[in-house]
Structure 1
Amino acid sequence: MNLSLIVVAELDDLTVGGLINGYGIEGSSHIYGMFSDTVVAYEIVLADGRLVRATKDNEYSDLFYAIPWSQGTVGLLVAAEIKLIPIKEYMKLTYKPVVGNLQELAQGYIDSFAPRDGDQDNPEKVPDFVETMIYTPTKAVCMTGKYASKEEAKRKGNKINSVGWWFKPWFYQHAQTALKKGEFVEFLFGWLMPPKVSLLKATQGEAIRNYYHEMHVIQDMLVPLYKVGDALEWVHREMEMYTDVGVYYAPGPVLRGEQFDGAEAVRQMENRLIENHGFQPQYTVSELNEKNFWRMFNAGLYEHCRQKCGDVGTFMSVYYKSKKGRKTEKEVQEAEQAILETPDAEAS
């Protein structure tokens, strides 16, 4: 039907519910915001079994704004009405190498989608998708994509790259070639698209699976745009990690060879995010205690809705749901009881 989600998930196994209840920021978020910002209405089953419809201007407007990032702890999300946009069949992608220090790499990323003078009111001048991959402390490739028609893509002289074929290189390796050959343009159309994470896991042997579990960690950082350069410098200094920058900074594997205390590095990263008004998504491995978790996130609206909807004692708090390690039923019940016994809870 030539229609698409406005904010397109970058992994095959990401779900609508996960992108809403979790943390949906993708390559078109510089225009539209998070995935939850494209939602018109939610249908939610509350703790007492009622099914309600929440929009930004009805009686459940507070619930509408509390659902994103709540990890299913405010209610059970059973349906969502989402905005769509008309699209064309192909993606015209421009690969632009950027060389400089980390601040200059960050500025190259920002410049790739920031409207220039006179362009603010011309949507044709703003790319539909942006992404930057950082390969070393001095080299990056900025990519900007615009939807394109089949006629434009197949025009004489244009190159079409079906990136999904099994014999193609990993995309980050393909983009890296811009550092040698300079800026280039191609049209993307893949039959396979991203690999399914569940398929990759299913084909791993036990030894490889255990190695990833014990030695790898996923971390994402959401920082204000003007802090991207500082975030890159900090991660380089403390972790020596280089990977992709979207509207977020996403650390990759540790490159230095000496002994590395990953847990301590994560704690330092979390403290820095709190100090710089940044956020860490709840699906990552976190070292935050409860006090620091609520320093990072504002509990006001969340706790208001939890009390209003009778969630306390039925759904565990988002902190305990995303807390590292196993949670015993007793631990969760005691935490919920402590909330019920606070003066604010009694007053409400």
Structure 2
Amino acid sequence: MTRPSENGFLANLQAKAVRWLEDNRGLVIVLFCLPASFLFDSAIQIRCWIRRTFFSAPADHPKRVREIQKCVQQRNALPESERKPMCTAKPNWLSLSLTFYRKDLCHQVPIDLFDILELDEERLTIKVEPNVSVGDLTRYLTPKGYTLAVTLEIADATAGGLAFGVGMTTYSHKVGLYQETVLSYDVVTADGELVHVTADNEHADLFHCLPWSHGTLGFLVALELKLIKIKPYVHMKYLPVHSQKEYCDKMMELSGALDKDYPVPDYLEATIYDKDNAVILIGNFADVDTDEKKAKINEVTRWYKPWFYKHVETFLNKEGEEYIPIQDYLLRHNRAIFWVLEAMIPFGNHPVFRALLGWACPPKPAFLKYTTTAAVREMTFSKQVFQDIVMPLNTLADQVNTAIDLFDTFPLLVYPCRIYDHGRGPQGQLRPPPKEGLTSGSNFAMFNDLGVYGVPGQVKRREPYNPTKAMRAMEKFTRDVGGYSFLYADLFMTEDEFNQMFDLTLYNAVREKYHCEGAFPKLYDKVKPEIDVIALGDKSEN
């Protein structure tokens, strides 16, 4: 029998160990996580090389799809009492979602689809299988003079994950969300049928609901995406601003929110370093054809270079310009995972560290997730924030002030993005923007992604912090202004609140039409945290 004094001793020892790990997290990650992550990533890369070299066969795509259909049909042939909801067999740790969906309770279907199927340079489209990564596509397309119209900055993101989730980037003020660049989906339904889904065929209702569906309406086996032509470099201008009103007004102007015919730049974003100080990044495709331009080339993703957001910070008190190779620009935030790596390795941007170990960064996201135990998940949940939220750009000042009040962490990321009203009834899970918010003479309103990543100031100062209360307040603000939470991150909403934020009218009709009930989990059940966020929030205050 354990005596009370022993319990107290063990609890005190555990608390000291946790505190030591918190205070020395960077050292632990450098000594153990980085080497293990490097080996882990190397093994994955070797596996990918073997798969591409010896097993890649775009011509065999129909055969691979038939195998998926067969798996679904075999599940459907089981006695009703033995049929579980279906999901992909892709391990949770390979997903960029923060949550750990209980796939062990599902009928898992392997989706071994990793090939680029067809590049159509006349139509400016590319057809790919769902597990092709952003890194693969960037390496394949940029030497040919193309890129996806919406290219996420994280190389491990996949074409299919973005299609059934959401994607936004610094070109989105010109084209909208990733879903606006998808021309067609090939989907295996709950009945095991293969359907080709477009905006104007008999499956148009399904087309509008597949974005933000997170695998709850079918299995994606291929998709066709729009491309844009590019030049070898991005001419980047850095514009420092020193008041909240100034950067809010500038983003409205430069994004085209005030005038649909305004000559907007190719790429646009802002990094906010405190309430009143930010740097606006204005990028345009460019050639480097003079010695003067060549002298301004900056390959920002080199391992020994400063993290990109730290480089941007040097322009807070001066304007600047440079030429960034297009592939470096597209993956500029990959090396520091925006600025999340600073919370893991506080000294990671030091020149000595970058010179010696910068090549090993960042720790592989898949490895971090693979090694996440329940205790680590609980700690990161209660001591970090990682959220992307889409809200009307004309509320930016209120967004920033709310984020500061609740999380007190910087920098903050701002990407402007068109949200369209396509003029039909329910247009999928996203509610159309209000008519009064539309840019004059257009069918879109300008929204923005507010990226809040890092350790809240209250945690840094070791003050009381309840992540559940903070995030529920942020979600309420988001609903009140007509915004949406990205569903890869932890949600704190009840199902009723979720249904207020998103419009599930068409989604529910599609689930019934395509026999998804019982075959696939419901959207809220698929994306809600696997942990009790209310209990953990209460615990964090004690």
- Greater CA deviation, 183-192 or 168-177? 183-192
- Give the 3-state SS of the residue equivalent to 1:218 in structure 2: strand
Whether the 8 Å CA contact 1:54–1:61 is kept in 2: the answer is yes
TM-superposed deviation, 1:209: 6.2
Whether the 8 Å CA contact 1:73–1:316 is kept in 2: the answer is yes
Whether the 8 Å CA contact 1:88–1:150 is kept in 2: the answer is no
Q: Are residues 1:23 and 2:188 paired?
A: no
2:384 maps to what in 1?
Answer: 216
- Greater CA deviation, 260-269 or 247-256? 247-256
1:345 maps to what in 2?
Answer: none
The match for 2:451 among 247, 250, 260 is: 250
1:141 maps to what in 2?
Answer: 279
2:400 maps to what in 1?
Answer: 232
2:5 maps to what in 1?
Answer: none
For residues 316 and 162 of structure 2, the distance between their equivalents in structure 1, rounded to whole angstroms, comes to: 33
Task: Tell me: CA distance 1:299–1:96, structure 2 relative to 1, closer, same or farther (3 Å).
Answer: same
TM-superposed deviation, 1:199: 2.3
TM-superposed deviation, 1:7: 0.9
Whether the 8 Å CA contact 1:90–1:148 is kept in 2: the answer is yes
For residues 295 and 40 of structure 1, the distance between their equivalents in structure 2, rounded to whole angstroms, comes to: 29
For residues 116 and 303 of structure 1, the distance between their equivalents in structure 2, rounded to whole angstroms, comes to: 36
TM-superposed deviation, 1:213: 5.6
Whether the 8 Å CA contact 2:164–2:210 is kept in 1: the answer is yes
Q: Deviations over 1:114-167 (max 9, x none)?
A: 3787x927xxx3211111000011100000111112326x54575000111111
Task: Tell me: CA distance 1:200–1:275, structure 2 relative to 1, closer, same or farther (3 Å).
Answer: closer
The match for 1:322 among 483, 502, 527 is: 527
- Give the 3-state SS of the residue equivalent to 2:387 in structure 1: coil
Q: Deviations over 1:42-83 (max 9, x none)?
A: 101100000001111110011110000000101111111111
Whether the 8 Å CA contact 1:20–1:36 is kept in 2: the answer is yes
Whether the 8 Å CA contact 1:103–1:233 is kept in 2: the answer is no
- Give the 3-state SS of the residue equivalent to 1:230 in structure 2: helix
- Give the 3-state SS of the residue equivalent to 1:94 in structure 2: strand
Corresponding letter in the other structure for 2:388: D
Task: Tell me: CA distance 1:13–1:198, structure 2 relative to 1, closer, same or farther (3 Å).
Answer: farther
Task: Tell me the TM-score normalised to structure 1 length.
Answer: 0.85
1:172 maps to what in 2?
Answer: 309
Whether the 8 Å CA contact 1:97–1:140 is kept in 2: the answer is yes
1:334 maps to what in 2?
Answer: none
For residues 204 and 277 of structure 2, the distance between their equivalents in structure 1, rounded to whole angstroms, comes to: 45
TM-superposed deviation, 1:113: 2.7
2:512 maps to what in 1?
Answer: 307
1:127 maps to what in 2?
Answer: 265
1:333 maps to what in 2?
Answer: none
Aligned residues: 320
Task: Tell me: CA distance 1:109–1:158, structure 2 relative to 1, closer, same or farther (3 Å).
Answer: farther
TM-superposed deviation, 1:227: 1.4
Corresponding letter in the other structure for 1:244: L
Q: Deviations over 1:168-206 (max 9, x none)?
A: 0111110011113x1111001266853386626648998
Q: Are residues 1:292 and 2:497 paired?
A: yes
Q: Percent same amino acid among aligned pairs?
A: 32
Q: Are residues 1:105 and 2:247 paired?
A: yes
For residues 59 and 187 of structure 1, the distance between their equivalents in structure 2, rounded to whole angstroms, comes to: 46
Whether the 8 Å CA contact 1:112–1:142 is kept in 2: the answer is no
For residues 206 and 295 of structure 1, the distance between their equivalents in structure 2, rounded to whole angstroms, comes to: 32
Corresponding letter in the other structure for 1:230: D
For residues 227 and 166 of structure 2, the distance between their equivalents in structure 1, rounded to whole angstroms, comes to: 19
- Give the 3-state SS of the residue equivalent to 1:168 in structure 2: coil
The match for 2:225 among 76, 82, 95 is: 82
For residues 198 and 16 of structure 1, the distance between their equivalents in structure 2, rounded to whole angstroms, comes to: 22
TM-superposed deviation, 1:214: 5.2
For residues 43 and 206 of structure 1, the distance between their equivalents in structure 2, rounded to whole angstroms, comes to: 34
Task: Tell me: CA distance 1:251–1:79, structure 2 relative to 1, closer, same or farther (3 Å).
Answer: same
TM-superposed deviation, 1:238: 2.7
Corresponding letter in the other structure for 1:175: V
Task: Tell me: CA distance 1:198–1:40, structure 2 relative to 1, closer, same or farther (3 Å).
Answer: farther
Say which one has the larger Rg. Answer: 2
Richer in helix (by share): 2
Q: CA RMSD in A?
A: 2.6
Whether the 8 Å CA contact 2:288–2:294 is kept in 1: the answer is no
2:364 maps to what in 1?
Answer: 199
Q: Which runs of 5+ in 1 are unaligned?
A: 328-348
Task: Tell me: CA distance 1:206–1:40, structure 2 relative to 1, closer, same or farther (3 Å).
Answer: closer
Q: Which runs of 5+ in 2 are unaligned?
A: 1-143, 336-360, 417-448, 533-542
2:438 maps to what in 1?
Answer: none
TM-superposed deviation, 1:325: 1.3
Whether the 8 Å CA contact 2:293–2:323 is kept in 1: the answer is no
1:340 maps to what in 2?
Answer: none
Q: Are residues 1:114 and 2:256 paired?
A: yes
For residues 197 and 107 of structure 1, the distance between their equivalents in structure 2, rounded to whole angstroms, comes to: 35
- Give the 3-state SS of the residue equivalent to 1:313 in structure 2: coil
Whether the 8 Å CA contact 1:103–1:230 is kept in 2: the answer is no
Corresponding letter in the other structure for 2:383: M
For residues 486 and 466 of structure 2, the distance between their equivalents in structure 1, rounded to whole angstroms, comes to: 21
